[in-house]
């Protein structure tokens, strides 16, 4: 008894089409969820339950450019920067960045005052 050699290919094709159809329907549902989330973003539990700590934020974010102890690296030394720049200028740099490489928006707008105050007091 000879088997038809086309049958495995037809089965694979039917399975593939069914899989494409299923994933398309699933994607439509996911797209609706993503759209809802963009309209009403969820706040992370850590952001709402923890108080902002400028020092730990600096250890996570700033050390890449300003060095392990914020003594300078690709970015300038932040110790004593409060003597050179006013708090308003520090806030402006945190908010808008600089043309020298400091990116804008690293610190959330809600925490710029706290971060600028902490940076200005580094000795």
DSSP of 76-113:
PP-TTHHHHS-HHHHHHHHHH--TTSPPTTSS-GGGHH
- Residue 115 among known ligand-binding residues: no
Torsion of CA 67, 70, 71, 73, to 10 degrees: 30
- Residue 65 among known ligand-binding residues: yes
Q: Is 107 helix (H, G, I), strand (E, B) or coil?
A: coil
Other C-beta atoms closer than 10 Å to the C-beta of 55 total 12
Q: How far apart are CA 5 and CA 74, in angstroms?
A: 65
Binding site: what residues are annotated? 62, 65-66, 102
The annotated binding site for heme c is made up of 62, 65-66, 102
């Amino acid at each position: 008894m000879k088997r038809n050699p086309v049958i495995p290919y037809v089965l694979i094709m039917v399975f593939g089409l069914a899989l494409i159809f299923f994933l398309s329907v699933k994607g439509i549902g996911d797209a609706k969820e993503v759209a809802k989330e963009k309209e009403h973003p969820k706040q992370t539990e850590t952001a709402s339950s923890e108080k902002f700590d400028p020092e730990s934020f600096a250890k996570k974010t700033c050390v890449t450019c300003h060095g392990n102890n914020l003594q300078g690296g690709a970015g300038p030394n932040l110790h004593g920067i409060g003597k050179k720049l006013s708090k308003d200028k520090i806030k402006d740099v945190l908010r808008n960045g600089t043309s020298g490489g400091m990116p804008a928006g690293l610190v959330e707008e809600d925490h710029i005052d706290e971060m600028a105050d902490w940076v200005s007091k580094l000795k």
